[in-house]
Chains A and B, each alone.
Chain A
Amino acid sequence: MNELNIEPTQSTPSVAGRWEEGVLSLGGDSFPENSYEFFGGVIDWIERYLAGSDRPLRLDLRLMYMNTSSVKAMMDIFDMLEDAYRSGRAVAVRWYHDPHNERVADLAAEFREDCTFPFDIEQDHV
């Protein structure tokens, strides 16, 4: 299956991977006890997408609170995107955040420090 759909829970974000569009969306809080288990499926989808075609990939993120093990898993994802970008692949991240919560923007900005691919941090208009 090339589509990825995970419903959100109190401690895990929603995940939607749309293969044809080349877009992976994650939204919500992320503080599962076993982040590697949770993010394993997401990492697997990205790996398959990057290996299975040469089309662009965009991550649309509306992540909010993340515990440190989720941050670590997310860093692994951004490292994969960085490697793909350095080998000439079109990849991009858009991270939307609540304008009243600068902590989410801080978190996104800290991730961006280690990335050279296009990484936009935008206020969400909801």
Chain B
Amino acid sequence: MNAIDLFDLRDHFTRRRILLCFNGPISHGLIEELGNALRNYLTAEQVQPSAVMDVFGVYIELTQNIRHYSKARGYDESDSAVTVVVAREDDGRYAVQAGNLVERADGVQLLERIQQLAAMDKVELKAAYKEQLRKPREEGALSGAGLGLIDVARKSSQPLAATLSDLGGERVFFSVRAVI
């Protein structure tokens, strides 16, 4: 087995200005710790407190959504893995990307939901948020397409984007990208 070229990996992280990257099963405690590190990095980069809170909020919603989904679907540890990356864009904005395995049908539904949210303006997103907030807890809970994604869309400065990657089996890799 070839050794991983650590310098090459480091170079990639540096060039893409990746501040935080995690791949694997994630606990609530780990979400907290990585979140703290993220807030500290952003504060050290002189990011405005409100923007720090938005990036942190998107990271929390996306990772907690994945944990809720994997638990609800009864996934084992390896299928519950979270892939999350936070990077600084060329224009100084921050992108949060998060992905996980989902059932194919859920993936298709999530993709449609992201496309709907991406087509909405701020006023429509606020109305959708308030409407979802008033719905009973059970509705839309399993797909994770509830309040969390609308909140992420509201905090984003660009439309959300999502992709599905086929792994040949019943489960597909769903990935969403938010730019704050």
Q: Identify the A interface with B (CB < 8 A).
A: 10-11, 31, 33, 36, 64-65, 67-69, 71-72, 75, 98, 100-104
Which residues of chain B (76-106) have a CB below 8 Å from chain A? none
Known A-B contacts A10-B32, A68-B61, A75-B133; the reply to A33 vs B50 at CB < 8 A is no
A33 pairs with B133, CB closer than 8 A: no
A67 to B32, CA, bound (A): 12
Task: Verify if B53 is at the interface (C-beta below 8 Å from A).
Answer: yes
A10 pairs with B64, CB closer than 8 A: no
Q: Which residues of the partner chain A approach B60 to less than 8 Å between Cβ atoms?
A: 31, 65, 67
A98 pairs with B133, CB closer than 8 A: no
A65 pairs with B56, CB closer than 8 A: yes
Instruction: List 10 A–B pairs whose Cβ atoms lie within 8 Å, in order of A's numbering.
Output: A10-B36, A36-B137, A65-B60, A67-B57, A68-B147, A72-B133, A72-B147, A100-B49, A101-B49, A102-B50
B64 pairs with A67, CB closer than 8 A: yes
Size class of B's contact patch? 20 to 34
Instruction: Name the CB-closest residue of B to A106.
Output: B50
B133-151 Cβ-contact flags toward A at 8 Å (1 or 0): 1000100000000111001
Q: Which residues of the partner chain A approach B151 to less than 8 Å between Cβ atoms?
A: 68
Task: Verify if B67 is at the interface (C-beta below 8 Å from A).
Answer: yes
B147 pairs with A103, CB closer than 8 A: no
B50 pairs with A103, CB closer than 8 A: yes
A64 to B133, CA, bound (A): 19
A76 to chain B, nearest CB (A): 10
